[in-house]
């Protein structure tokens, strides 16, 4: 049931704009520190891109790692970031993040419903950079039973269609491994059958998934905590304008079903509206190789359309334009459904498995496909000649597709045929046929695959080094030796899926200081205005050094903002 409608006028200490990880973190932290908090959300459901995400948070030196005996000197992640970010390294904000991150995890664990599971086996993406971690720097929200949220569950965004199975989110790690191995192992089959059976009952009873994992568990746990702490949660209530008095932000005008109302904030407004992945104008202006703004398959929900940046600018805030990349690239394929709707599928899992390569229209490889998603698209954008559409094709054989799936076409026991028939996958009895179906140069592809296979039979990839880093190997198949990321492509029919530039969100946001206060053109904090999550210019300077570098800082800077507004001093 929605909250009681907003009435004119309202007052609070802190007004939070947006209900993703950053907004909810700020709201919960401020409320726990005694602040009266209102959170407004534009969409009819809470959760934003966070609810669709993998939910991984990069938080070096976190208490879960420490409890497991992984005790790192903070100098190590700092060294890693210094090397990765180069001249974009912002010492003040990185220090604030590295210091507050572990406290943030402790705070939520101790005082709220947000409990975590560890990512102690997840390596940083660039294992050859000094200070790179091989595990212990990531956490994820612990799975959550939706029934514990009562009526609130129906006000939360459901899992993304493309990354779930019939609406059931699957968690990276053991859960996903069980689904991938369900035709090979009895315990895996039992796990998958039990999970799916329960999901079907939940669908029948509640009309949605109730075994919550990944980003949707993070949102559920944060929203539950916010509700318990008395945060007023208002959906379908977009903030339209900031109230600015004598240069200070004092609240916002918010659109509601009953008309526009004024919400005054005695202490601060926190902008956490999810950046601008769906702002066509700003995409056109800022994204490379995006001349009309439409050459991009953004993954976040449409509501993340730049409102926070515009609100911040109206108060004198500045959008950072000097990041290495304004966008958190993701390789994405377009999925067309029978009902005429379209979806965006993120290629996160299969690129590192043995027996797949990515090629351009000339049939040539251009990157180590097992590297990070951001690296794949960065390389693709750089490699495609200027006059051509930026796109690549992921190529595999029948054995690979049946074992690991390709994009949204799932592995055995689910059929591949429907995805070939609807054109999502191209297929060919020979590589030549496949190349012609895709519009790839057949000679180039034949040569590339022959050369790749020659080495792949020995588990080697001298051209790009698949399997050469801990991150690569983690993305591969540990059961496949000698190289978990390399196998020949030779069992017809062959398949391909077209992959285009898309994103997990944006990096270019409002400039802030280490307290998450929005800065004006002279670098001074704007009184009463904070930004967190993707509304804040990424502390990674447009680089992507590790999985979880969006959500780790989003939750941490939400926490930092909430504490700063409340005037908290001791770590809680």
Ligand X SMILES: Cc1cc2nc3c(=O)[nH]c(=O)nc-3n(C[C@H](O)[C@H](O)[C@H](O)COP(=O)(O)OP(=O)(O)OC[C@H]3O[C@@H](n4cnc5c(N)ncnc54)[C@H](O)[C@@H]3O)c2cc1C
Nearest in space to 407 (alpha carbons), one of 332, 501, 489, 340: 332
In the complex, what is the shortest distance from the CB of residue 453 to ligand X, in angstroms, rounded to a whole number? 32
User: 282 vs 365, which CB is nearer to ligand X?
Assistant: 282
Residue 169 makes contact with ligand X by CB under 6 A:
no
Which residue of this chain has its Cβ atom nearest to ligand X in the complex? 20
Our CA dihedral for 57, 175, 183, 416, rounded to 10 degrees, sits at: -40
Stretch that binds ligand X, among 17-25, 119-127, 145-153, 445-453 (CB under 6 A): 17-25
Span 297-356, contacts to ligand X by CB under 6 A: 299-300, 303-304, 307, 346
Span 22-51, contacts to ligand X by CB under 6 A: 22-23, 40-43, 48-50
Residue 20 makes contact with ligand X by CB under 6 A:
yes
Span 139-168, contacts to ligand X by CB under 6 A: 160, 163
Answer for which of 550, 556, 561, 564 binds ligand X (CB under 6 A) is 550
**CB neighbour burial string for 521-543, b if at least 16 within 10 angstroms, e if fewer:** eeeeebbbbbbbbbbbbbbbbbb
In the complex, what is the shortest distance from the CB of residue 458 to ligand X, in angstroms, rounded to a whole number? 34
Please give the structure tokens belonging to residue 287. Answer: 């994204």
Residue 374 makes contact with ligand X by CB under 6 A:
no
State the Cα–Cα distance between residues 255 and 511, nearest whole angstrom.
Answer: 26
285 to each of 29, 288, 373, 519, 537, how far by Cα in Å?
A: 35, 9, 23, 22, 16
Site residue total, ligand X (CB under 6 A): 42
Span 482-541, contacts to ligand X by CB under 6 A: 504-505, 533-534
State the Cα–Cα distance between residues 422 and 339, nearest whole angstrom.
Answer: 12
Q: Is 310 left (phi over 0), alpha (psi -120 to 50) or beta?
A: alpha
Span 224-263, contacts to ligand X by CB under 6 A: 238-239
Nearest in space to 15 (alpha carbons), one of 261, 257, 258: 261
HSE-CB for 83 with a 13 A CA cutoff: 17
| Strand ranges (E), 350-480 | 356-359, 392-397, 425-428
Residue 372 makes contact with ligand X by CB under 6 A:
no
User: 115 vs 412, which CB is nearer to ligand X?
Assistant: 115
User: 258 vs 439, which CB is nearer to ligand X?
Assistant: 258
Residue 361 makes contact with ligand X by CB under 6 A:
no
In the complex, what is the shortest distance from the CB of residue 40 to ligand X, in angstroms, rounded to a whole number? 5
State the Cα–Cα distance between residues 20 and 554, nearest whole angstrom.
Answer: 9
User: 227 vs 461, which CB is nearer to ligand X?
Assistant: 227
Answer for which of 28, 551, 561, 565 binds ligand X (CB under 6 A) is 551
CB 487 within 8 A of CB 400: yes
| Interface with ligand X (CB under 6 A) | 17-23, 40-43, 48-50, 52-56, 160, 163, 238-239, 272-274, 299-300, 303-304, 307, 346, 504-505, 533-534, 547-551, 554
């Amino acid at each position: 049931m929605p909250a009681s409608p907003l009435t004119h006028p309202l007052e609070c200490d802190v007004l939070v704009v947006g209900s993703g990880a950053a907004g909810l973190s700020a709201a919960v932290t401020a409320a726990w520190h005694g602040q009266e908090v209102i959170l407004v959300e534009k969409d009819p459901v809470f959760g934003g891109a966070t609810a669709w995400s993998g939910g991984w948070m990069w938080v070096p030196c976190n208490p879960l790692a420490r409890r497991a005996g992984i005790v790192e000197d903070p100098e190590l992640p700092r060294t890693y970031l210094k090397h990765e970010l180069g001249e974009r390294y912002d010492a003040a904000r990185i220090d604030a993040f590295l210091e507050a991150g572990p406290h943030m995890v402790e705070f939520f664990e101790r005082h709220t419903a947000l409990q975590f599971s560890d990512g102690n086996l997840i390596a940083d993406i660039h294992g050859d950079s000094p200070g790179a971690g091989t595990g212990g720097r990531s956490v994820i929200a612990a799975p959550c039973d939706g029934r514990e949220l009562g009526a609130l569950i129906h006000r939360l965004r459901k899992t993304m269609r493309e990354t779930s199975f019939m609406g059931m989110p699957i968690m990276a790690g053991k859960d996903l491994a069980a689904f991938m191995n369900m035709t090979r192992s009895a315990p895996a089959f039992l796990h998958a059958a039990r999970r799916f059976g329960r999901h079907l009952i939940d669908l029948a009873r509640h009309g949605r998934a109730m075994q919550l994992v990944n980003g949707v568990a993070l949102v559920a746990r944060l929203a539950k905590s916010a509700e318990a702490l008395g945060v007023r949660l208002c959906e379908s209530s977009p903030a339209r304008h900031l109230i600015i008095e004598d240069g200070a932000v004092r609240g916002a005008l918010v659109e509601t079903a009953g008309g526009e109302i004024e919400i005054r904030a005695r202490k601060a407004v926190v902008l956490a509206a999810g950046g601008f992945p769906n702002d066509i104008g700003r995409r056109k202006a800022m994204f490379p190789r995006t001349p009309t703004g439409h050459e991009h398959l953004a993954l976040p929900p449409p509501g993340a359309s730049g409102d926070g940046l515009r609100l911040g600018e109206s108060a004198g805030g500045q959008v950072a334009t000097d990041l290495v990349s304004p966008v958190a690239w993701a390789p994405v394929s377009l999925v067309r459904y029978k009902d005429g709707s379209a979806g965006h599928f993120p290629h996160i899992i299969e690129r590192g498995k043995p027996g797949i390569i990515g090629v351009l229209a000339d049939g040539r490889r251009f990157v180590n496909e097992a590297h990070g998603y951001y690296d794949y698209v960065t390389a693709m954008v750089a490699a495609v000649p200027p006059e051509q559409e930026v796109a690549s094709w992921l190529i595999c054989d029948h054995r690979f597709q049946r074992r690991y799936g390709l994009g949204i076409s799932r592995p055995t026991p689910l059929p591949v045929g429907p995805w070939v028939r609807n054109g999502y996958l191209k297929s060919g009895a020979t590589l030549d046929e496949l190349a012609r179906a895709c519009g790839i140069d057949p000679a180039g592809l034949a040569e590339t695959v022959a050369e790749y296979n020659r080495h792949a039979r020995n588990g080697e990839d001298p051209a790009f080094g698949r399997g050469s880093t801990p991150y690569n190997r983690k993305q591969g198949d540990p059961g496949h030796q000698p190289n978990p990321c390399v196998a020949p492509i030779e069992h017809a029919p062959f398949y391909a899926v077209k992959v285009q530039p898309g994103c997990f969100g944006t990096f270019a946001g409002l400039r802030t200081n280490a307290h998450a206060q929005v800065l004006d053109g002279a670098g001074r904090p704007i009184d009463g205005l904070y930004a967190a999550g993707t509304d804040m210019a990424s502390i990674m300077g447009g680089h992507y050094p590790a999985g979880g570098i969006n959500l780790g800082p989003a939750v941490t800077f939400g926490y930092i903002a909430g504490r700063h507004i409340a005037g908290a001093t001791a770590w809680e």
